[in-house]
Amino acid sequence: MTTAAEPQSLLLQVLDPAHRADPYPYYRRIREHGPVQLPENNLTVFSSFAHCEEVLTHPASCSDRLKSTVAQRMVADGAAARPFGEPGFLFLDPPDHTRLRRLVSKAFVPKVIRALEPDIAALVDSLLRDADGGFEVISGLAYPLPVAVICRLLGVPLEDEPQFSAASALLAQSLDPFVSVTGSAGDGFEERIEAGLWLREYLRGLIARRRRDPGEDLMSGLIHVEESGDQLTEEEIVATCNLLLIAGHETTVNLIANATLALLRHPQQWAALAADPGRVGPVIEETLRYDPPVQLVGRIAGEDMTIGGERSDGGNGTGGVSIPKGDNMLLLLAAAHRDPQLADRPDEFDPDRETIRHLGFGKGPHFCLGAPLARLEATVALTALVSRFPDAEPAAEPTYKQNVTLRGMAELQLAL
């Protein structure tokens, strides 16, 4: 029998860095418990696929943190409303989200992504060229590839990439739900604030240079994009580039690394991909389900809501969960992806399963704009890695970063 304290205890165990290598037993227990409501924290936690999907597509679900009761209370107590500056459109609601996404998408068209493939292939080849005897996947491939791609997209000079990537790593930690769940800003909060300020000032300088000397990069495109007389302001360009850096870089690092680890732990799948590069698509989609780069996302109830009632195709049989206006909702996507209602043998990595469904790129109005780029980078990186090193094996157990939301490895050593 579940005690009253157990749901909160399970949630804290998911957040505990000691469990970062394998949080899935805790996700399973939370999912089996059903929705967790912590009224004193103004928080409801969903972990089934049906519930998470419904929240993501519900018209009353909001992404702007300032609409939450917790954030409003903190601001009333003197906290900064936007400690990291103006948010990217991922953290805004219509009509602001709709307008910004429409303008940004004009500079993020498929032909731009397709044109990157030769450069991505050349980058991967250069990263793998000197591997001999051993290879560290994170620092050797998964990390430098996406940061180089996003820097080239934004027109960041090569010599600035190390500082740029360091700021990205720090800011990725700001997505963790420590404030809403534990009431603590977490260690390194001031360091993340400083990284955010540095990055915004850097981007403003880059915008000024691109205004004087536009190029073919995405930054120049964002400056000049226009629709019916509407343009992006400088602050909107800064916030968008900030978002693209974190969402487009850290998540792709995790996707490449998580897929590599899953393949290594299933040698028959590694060998099958080495023999048939055409299998890479299902490998990527199954990784997004089995070990997603984004483990959880947050939403806010824009009005009183009921989740799991008549609109739900799954639910927990309770007749629906009521969420008061302003309450936070935490969606445990990593738990939802292993829901037995979603897939047979959900805890098995199987790219050959007949249907692969996931919320790895979100769903609804916030579906990831950079999904095609992430898939392209992972496709090129994985096919090159397994074809070049068909007999690779894990040299040691991987180590993990502290990040909860963008859970990912710090090190993954291969024996070649």
Instruction: Give the model confidence (pLDDT) of 102-129 as tens digits.
Output: 888 876 778 888 888 999 999 999 999 9
Structure-block tokens of residue 230: 């509407």
* Residue 229, SS3 per DSSP: coil
Q: What is the pLDDT of residue 271?
A: 97
Return the DSSP state at 345.
S
CA angle 272, 275, 277 (to 5 degrees): 90
Average pLDDT of 257-264? 98
Q: What is the pLDDT of residue 3?
A: 43
Q: What's the CATH fold of domain 6-415?
A: Cytochrome p450 (1.10.630)
Confidence of residue 9 (pLDDT cuts 50, 70, 90): confident
- What is the torsional sign of CA 245, 247, 248, 252? positive
Question: In Å, what is the CA distance from 33 to each residue of 16, 28, 36, 259, 324?
Answer: 19, 9, 8, 29, 21
- Residue 174 predicted with pLDDT over 80: no
- Residue 318 predicted with pLDDT over 60: no
Confidence of residue 260 (pLDDT cuts 50, 70, 90): very high
Q: Which long-range contacts (CB under 8 A, 24 or more apart) does 338-346 make?
A: 338/24, 338/27, 338/28, 338/31, 338/290, 339/31, 339/47, 339/48, 339/49, 339/50, 339/314, 341/48, 341/49, 341/50, 341/314, 342/49, 343/289
* Residue of 346 and 163 predicted with greater confidence: 346
- Residue 313 predicted with pLDDT over 60: no
Q: What is the pLDDT of residue 310?
A: 58
338: number of Cβ within 10 Å = 21
* Residue of 158 and 263 predicted with greater confidence: 263
Structure-block tokens of residue 222: 């964002």
The CA distance from 88 to 312, in Å, is 30
Q: What is the pLDDT of residue 229?
A: 74
- Residue 227 predicted with pLDDT over 90: no
φ and ψ of 323, to 5 deg = -125, 120
